[in-house]
């Protein structure tokens, strides 16, 4: 016997579920890049390229960006839209800094002779950082629209939802970046070895 | 399925319209062209998919002409033959079947079947169609670029896909990869809609376990596609970079036309893993919606509840999950560790279990049912028979030792055409004959429909049954011209000619079907709201075709599953999902 009054579908807003599903797709995309990378790096001719120190700085900036958005989300929750705006702007600016830093890192590698096509490791490095950067740029569009909502003082519940969605997306991209960084710097080599031992 | 007790229903107020939330078209353009209404988008998807599908049909004619009468048609050279193979396969699998099942049937049926007014993100849904259309246009444009479309085979294996010698090496392959990338972006937009709509926009009382199996099939297929298409995306992006920027993701060191290429160190096998990690789930992305549609068709047209509903749902989900761990059975001939082969052969054979459960349940649904041999039912029966046929040869090919000698023969062509060509297209036709009255308000012409069914069904067997035999003889696939070969007897050539004639006739029957679609739109018999006496929600709309927003002022409330046919004691021979229990009892009271 079913009581209809308890038959309500989940109370989460559709946009949030939508973002969740989208993140699953993005996660699967990066997981596939990572598995392609791990398969390739086990071949004998693999030469890992030196990771520019700049990446560590960039990572710090991306962490700051995530923290700023978390801060904005908490402010939006208490209806403090001025602080939320500051958080959003800080998050946006630091995300731009991260992207600029990544471009600079590319330039440094290029200057040092590590070109896109000269070695599979290089190709993977440029490709994976580019895909991550593109996702962040897409996030910046969403962040811009959210900021516009705050500026024209849209309805508080709408702002709260938008800010929350941006924050989730940012944390997710930070997490992806940390995993990628581990992979690109060779930190996770042992782990990858263990995985490939299990498979072969 | 248990009815909701009367007293608990009494307390539920009807859901008022969220009128403000609904998008309203303001002009002809936004109503019929840039529409955000899922029903219009569904029709746009279907027309586009069928149009490009006709191109693929013509390509199959050309291939059959060459195979049946080698040397007769001088305008088909070996390069063109490879291009026809490639485009035929790619169009049929991705741009026709995937788009038609998910974009066409999914868009039309999901909101109506779950009792929603529209998809949850209508704007994104509209974008999804236009990006799909762009992908199709880019794909079709390869017929007109210098060098023509790519002839790499629909699997696009590197290194040959991007080396000279393969037709379409200049533009064809680049545009093909670009088109695939666009398709995946567009599909992801649509797929988000289908999943979130099923999860979030179901009307009250529509629990997951009351969804029609069509929705379960489309939903599971969409989830799979969302997880599998990224693999094709990754492979396409990397192959595109190899082709355009000279990277070596997939390209090993090799000599091309006597000169060493700039490539080095790439792994072609890596591409195969990525491709088939998408490619195998793709088979079930096409099959699961077909499973769902067939379940609904046989239940409605045999006037009997579906046998083992819960088992059917879990079989769909189980098949979906298993299909992600079988991909390397497409790569036995690429060489792999014997334990790998053992693992993938085992998982492949395990899929037979949930699939067999489904077939048994369909047969048990039919058993002692009141079977009406309507056109949708005929197509449903044809689907079951054909899918079993194709599935059985799948058991052969799933075994490494049997697959290796058969892999490059016509046997494989016959197998996959049965299982993911003929079978799903039977489900598509059955679905169109079944839901056309809801979409247009008119029935399709019966006589033309029966002609279409019998010619397509018998014709398809005339083409593909003998093809198994040719494969066992060792007749290779992908060959433009077999020539004089000791192991292929003269009779095999006659058989080839016979199959080609059958293919031409089957193709002609599809033209009759298209004519029927258009003719019935104007001259078909008026259908009324529920011509088949079906219980699921889409047949209970206040208007036919359903108006904007699908339902009138109030959303329907669902009291039961979608399969209450021939219920003992009930007045009619079916009970609609949204009929309150009180009404059923009152009707059931009179003798």
Q: How far is B194 from chain A (nearest CA, A)?
A: 10
Contact list, B220 vs chain A (CB under 8 Å):
none
CB contacts of A37 in chain B (<8 Å) are: none
In a domain, A45, yes or no: no
Best interface-test mutation with B: which of A10, A11, A18 has the largest number of B CBs within 10 A? Answer: A18
Burial of B558 (0-12, 13-18, 19+ CB in 10 A): buried
Instruction: Check if B201 contacts A (Cβ < 8 Å).
Output: yes
- CA pair distance B495, B471, nearest whole angstrom: 12
Please report the residues numbered 28 through 67 in chain A whose beta carbons come closer than 8 angstroms to any beta carbon of chain B.
28-29, 32-33, 36, 39-40, 43, 45
Q: Which two tokens stand for residue B474?
A: 């060792």
A35 domain residue, yes or no: no
User: Which of A5, A7, A120 faces B249 most closely, judged by CB atoms?
Assistant: A120
Instruction: Give me the interface pTM, i.e. the ipTM.
Output: 0.90
Q: Are B154 and B93 in contact (CB under 8 A)?
A: yes
CA atoms lying within 13 Å on the CB side of residue A42: 17
Closest CA to B49 of B123, B107, B8, B4: B107
- Six-digit token string for A171: 């944390």
Do the Cβ atoms of B274 and A2 come within 8 Å? no
> Do B233 and A29 make contact, defined as CB atoms within 8 angstroms?
yes
Put simply, the answer to whether B200 touches A12 (Cβ < 8 Å) is yes
Task: Verify whether the Cβ–Cβ distance A1 to B4 is below 8 Å.
Answer: yes
Q: How far apart are CA B475 and CA B482, in angstroms?
A: 8
Tokens coding A4: 């209809």
Cβ atoms B319, B351 nearer than 8 A: yes
Pick B192's closest partner by Cβ from A8, A21, A117. A21
DSSP B390-427: HHHHHHHHHSHHHHHHHTTBHHHHHHHHIIIIIHHHHH
Other beta carbons within 10 angstroms of residue B589's beta carbon come to: 9
Q: Which of A1, A17, A131 sits opposite B200 (nearest CB)?
A: A17
CB contact under 8 Å between B8 and A3, yes or no, is yes
Residue A2 lies in a domain: no
CB pairs under 8 A between A and B: 111
Contact between B167 and B147 under an 8 Å Cβ cutoff? The reply is: yes
Are A32 and B241 in contact (CB < 8 Å)?
no
Q: Could you tell me the residue ranges of all domains in chain B? A: 31-206, 532-591
Question: pTM, whole model, 2 decimals?
Answer: 0.93
CA distance A114 to A107: 10
- Tens-digit pLDDT string for chain B (591 aa): 444 444 444 444 445 444 445 667 778 888 888 999 999 999 999 999 999 999 999 999 999 999 999 989 888 999 999 999 999 999 999 999 999 999 999 999 999 999 999 999 999 999 999 999 999 999 999 999 999 999 999 999 999 999 988 999 999 999 999 999 999 999 999 999 999 999 999 999 999 999 999 999 999 999 999 999 999 999 999 999 999 998 989 998 888 888 888 888 888 999 999 999 999 999 999 999 999 999 999 999 999 999 999 999 999 999 999 999 999 999 998 888 888 889 999 999 999 999 999 999 999 999 999 999 999 999 999 999 999 999 999 999 998 899 999 999 999 999 999 999 999 999 999 999 999 999 999 999 999 999 999 999 999 999 999 999 999 999 999 998 887 788 888 888 899 999 999 999 999 999 999 999 999 999 999 998 999 999 999 999 999 899 988 988 888 999 999 999 999 888 889 999 998 887 665 554 433
Judged by a CB distance cut-off of 8 A, whether residue A17 touches chain B is yes
Question: Is position A3 within any domain?
Answer: no
For residue B245, list chain A residues with Cβ-Cβ distance below 8 A: 116-117
Q: Are B449 and B375 in contact (CB under 8 A)?
A: yes
A73 in any annotated domain: yes
> A24 to chain B: which residues are within 8 Å by CB?
226-227
Are residues B230 and A32, on separate chains, in Cβ contact within 8 Å? yes
What's the CATH code of the domain at A92? 1.20.120.80
Domain count along chain A: 1
Binding-face residues of A in 89-118 toward B, CB within 8 A: 116-117
CA B536, CA B552: separation in Å to the nearest integer?
17
The answer to whether B226 faces chain A, any CB pair under 8 Å, is yes
- The verdict on B155 touching A (C-beta cutoff 8 Å) is no
What is the domain extent for residue A85?
55-186
Q: Which of B248, B281, B344 to mutate to test the interface with A (most CBs of A within 10 A)?
A: B248
Q: Please, which residues have CB within 8 angstroms of residue B460's CB and are 6 or more apart in sequence?
A: B386, B422, B506
CA nearest neighbour of B188 among B220, B219, B229: B229
Is A130 within a domain? yes
A8, A21, A43: residue with CB nearest B196: A21
Q: With an 8 Å Cβ cutoff, is A21 touching chain B? A: yes
* Sole residue written with tokens 């083992």: B308
- CB < 8 Å to A117, chain B: 245-248, 262
């Amino acid at each position: 016997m079913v009581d209809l009054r308890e038959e309500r579908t989940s109370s989460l807003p559709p946009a949030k579920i939508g973002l969740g599903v989208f993140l699953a797709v993005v996660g699967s995309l990066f997981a596939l890049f990572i598995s392609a990378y791990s398969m390739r790096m086990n071949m004998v001719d693999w030469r890992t390229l030196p990771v520019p120190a700049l990446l560590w700085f960039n990572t710090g900036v991306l962490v700051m960006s995530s923290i700023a958005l978390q801060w904005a989300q908490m402010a939006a929750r208490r209806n403090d839209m001025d602080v939320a705006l500051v958080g959003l702007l800080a998050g946006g600016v630091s995300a731009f800094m991260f992207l600029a830093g990544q471009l600079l890192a590319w330039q440094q590698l290029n200057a040092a002779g590590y070109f896109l096509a000269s070695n599979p490791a290089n190709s993977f490095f440029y490709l994976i950082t580019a895909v991550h950067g593109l996702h962040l740029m897409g996030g910046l569009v969403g962040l811009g629209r959210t900021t516009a909502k705050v500026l024209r003082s849209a309805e508080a519940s709408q702002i709260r939802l938008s800010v929350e969605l941006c924050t989730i997306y940012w944390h997710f991209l930070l997490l992806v970046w940390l995993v990628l960084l581990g992979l690109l710097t060779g930190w996770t080599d042992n782990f990858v070895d263990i995985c490939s031992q299990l498979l072969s | 399925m248990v009815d909701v007790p009367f007293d608990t229903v009494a307390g539920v107020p009807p859901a008022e319209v969220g009128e403000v939330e609904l998008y309203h078209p303001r002009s002809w353009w936004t109503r019929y062209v840039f529409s955000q209404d899922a029903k219009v988008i569904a029709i746009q998807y279907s027309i586009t998919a069928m149009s490009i599908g006709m191109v693929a049909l013509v390509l199959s004619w050309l291939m059959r002409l060459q195979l049946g009468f080698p040397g007769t048609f001088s305008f088909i050279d070996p390069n063109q033959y490879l291009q026809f193979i490639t485009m035929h396969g790619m169009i049929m699998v991705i741009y026709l079947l995937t788009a038609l099942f998910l974009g066409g049937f999914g868009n039309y049926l999901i909101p109506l079947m779950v009792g929603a007014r529209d998809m949850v993100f209508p704007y994104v849904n509209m974008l999804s169609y236009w990006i799909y259309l762009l992908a199709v246009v880019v794909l079709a444009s390869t017929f007109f670029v210098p060098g023509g479309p790519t002839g790499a085979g629909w699997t696009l294996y590197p290194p040959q896909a991007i080396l000279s010698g393969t037709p379409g090496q200049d533009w064809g392959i680049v545009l093909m990869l670009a088109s695939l990338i666009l398709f995946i972006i567009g599909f992801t937009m649509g797929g988000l809609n289908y999943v979130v709509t099923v999860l979030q926009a179901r009307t009250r009382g529509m629990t997951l376990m009351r969804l029609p199996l069509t929705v379960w099939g489309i939903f599971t297929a969409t989830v799979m596609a969302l997880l599998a298409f990224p693999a094709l995306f990754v492979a396409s992006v990397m192959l595109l970079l190899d082709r355009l920027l000279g990277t070596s993701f997939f390209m090993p060191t090799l000599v091309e036309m006597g000169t060493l290429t700039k490539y080095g160190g790439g792994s072609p096998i890596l591409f195969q893993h990525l491709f088939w990690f998408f490619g195998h789930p793709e088979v079930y992305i096409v099959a699961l919606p077909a499973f769902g549609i067939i379940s609904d068709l046989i239940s409605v047209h045999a006037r009997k509840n579906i046998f083992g509903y819960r088992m059917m749902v879990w079989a769909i989900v189980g098949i979906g999950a298993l299909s992600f761990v079988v991909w390397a059975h497409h790569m036995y001939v690429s060489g792999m560790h014997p334990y790998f082969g053992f693992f993938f052969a085992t998982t492949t054979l395990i899929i037979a279990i949930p699939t067999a459960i489904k077939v048994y349940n369909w047969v048990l649904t039919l058993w002692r049912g009141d079977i009406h041999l309507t056109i949708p039912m005929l197509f449903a029966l044809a689907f079951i028979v054909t899918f079993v046929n194709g599935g059985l040869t799948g058991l052969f090919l799933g075994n490494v030792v049997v697959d290796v000698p058969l892999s490059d023969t016509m046997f494989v062509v016959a197998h996959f055409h049965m299982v993911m060509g003929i079978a799903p297209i039977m489900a598509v036709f059955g679905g169109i004959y079944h839901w056309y009255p809801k979409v247009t308000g008119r029935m399709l012409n019966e006589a033309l429909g029966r002609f279409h069914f019998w010619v397509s069904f018998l014709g398809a067997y005339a083409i593909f049954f003998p093809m198994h035999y040719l494969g066992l003889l060792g007749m290779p696939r992908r060959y433009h011209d077999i020539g004089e070969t000791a192991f292929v007897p003269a009779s095999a050539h006659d058989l080839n000619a016979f199959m080609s004639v059958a293919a031409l006739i089957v193709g002609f029957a599809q033209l009759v079907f298209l004519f029927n679609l258009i003719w019935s739109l104007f001259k078909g018999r008026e259908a009324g709201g529920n011509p088949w006496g079906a219980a699921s929600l889409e047949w209970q709309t206040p208007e036919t075709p359903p108006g904007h927003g699908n339902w009138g002022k109030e959303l329907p409330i669902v009291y039961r599953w979608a399969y209450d046919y021939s219920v003992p004691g009930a007045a009619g021979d079916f009970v609609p999902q949204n009929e309150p229990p009180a009404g059923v009892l009152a009707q059931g009271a009179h003798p």
